[in-house]
Structure 1
């Protein structure tokens, strides 16, 4: 059996230090690579507040209640 997908995912850039985009865990646009990292709700909200873009497909900012 496959493990359940994480609730939220942050995709990292090529250098693995910068954050590129925040996704919900079940988003179809999440790349199946080592550059995607499952994060907690608090970490995802913090990333969105630090201007990391939200995915335009799954809209995690709406699901997490972070609307500016």
Structure 2
């Protein structure tokens, strides 16, 4: 029974679409280190990201949070300096 629940949970996670936007936090969780697109490999590797809305990602970039140099969320959002 437990194995069946684990398998169902795993299938559900695999079918869930990736988030569109992520904010990466520092090691102490109070610093915001970067904005990422939801499919960024660097964000997945860090493990310190949370899902945010498009508007929250735009606001973070406007507040001078750096855009990831790999996935370029600023370009995807149309925010270029």
Q: Same fold (TM over 0.5)?
A: yes
Q: CA deviation at 1:32?
A: 5.5
The normalised TM-score by structure 2 is 0.77
How many equivalent residue pairs?
Answer: 67
Larger radius of gyration: 2
Tell me how far apart the structure 2 counterparts of residues 47 and 23 of structure 1 sit (CA, whole Å): 11
Higher relative contact order (CA 8 A, sep 6+): 1
Superposition RMSD in Å = 1.1
Unaligned runs of 5+ in 1: none
Unpaired runs of at least 5, structure 2: 1-10
From 67, 73, 79, the equivalent of 1:54 is 67
| Match among 27, 30, 52 for residue 17 of structure 1 | 30
Q: How does 1:1-68 map to 2 (within 5 A)?
A: 1=11, 2=14, 3-30=16-43, 31=45, 33=47, 35-68=48-81
In the TM superposition, structure 1's runs of 4+ consecutive aligned residues that sit over 2 Å from their partners are none
* Structure 1 or 2: more helix by fraction: 2
